Amino acid sequence: MDTYDAIMNRHSVRAYTTEAVDRDVLERMLRAAMAAPSAMNAQPWYFYVATGATRELIGAAMAQSTVHLKDYMDVLPPERIEAAERFYASLGGAPVVVALSIPSSDDGMDRTYNQVAAGCAIENLLLAARAEGLSSCHLTVPLWVMDGMRRILSVPEGRELISLIIVGYPAEAPLAPEHSFNHVTYFE
């Protein structure tokens, strides 16, 4: 698959089939993620791959996020809240959840380096999923379910979860994204 094709045609998908993803496919994707650049080649990321019962526990923990969000979602119509509850509870039916952690740091520069490196690794993972014929969706981990997620995934002290990536075969054809070129300024 052409690199530009993968970039321009990668979409976030929120509905998946139940078809399992082969472990060797996941490992190729993770190798691609770990090939991402990082400051001083620190490779600050750690990946947690959840399927089966552990993946179900993650869905149950994420479903709790909408309980907390309801206080903040008064402006949304009830069907949007219900849709969010369904999505977080099922994570779109994706059979795989990949979580990513980075070292905790109070140093602003270290934290920035780690977050940028993690972002590069996430993008590599999303593009690798596309190259494998899979779909994916990147989610941040809501702070109010963080403790539960840490317990489920046995994330050690000194590391913070920053991302969940759901992966699987799409159950729907994703809409083509709008790519805006309004965020560029050229200087000479």
CB neighbour list of residue 165: distance below 8 Å, 6 or more residues apart:
97, 98, 99, 100, 122, 125, 126, 129, 136, 137, 138, 139
pLDDT range class, residue 38, cuts 50, 70, 90: very high
* Per-residue pLDDT at 82: 74
Model confidence pLDDT, tens digit, residues 95-117: 999 999 999 999 999 999 999 99
| Sheet strands (E) in 7-132 | 46-50, 96-103
Q: Given 1.10.3720.10, 3.40.50.300, 3.40.109.10, 1.10.357.10, which CATH number is that of 3-61+93-168?
A: 3.40.109.10
Model confidence pLDDT, tens digit, residues 119-157: 999 999 999 999 999 999 999 877 778 889 999 999 999
Contact 152, 54 (CB under 8 A): yes
Q: What is the mean pLDDT of residues 12-41?
A: 96
Model confidence pLDDT, tens digit, residues 39-94: 999 999 999 999 999 999 998 888 877 666 655 566 667 776 677 777 888 899 99
* Per-residue pLDDT at 163: 93
Contact 51, 166 (CB under 8 A): no
Whether the predicted pLDDT of 175 surpasses 70: no
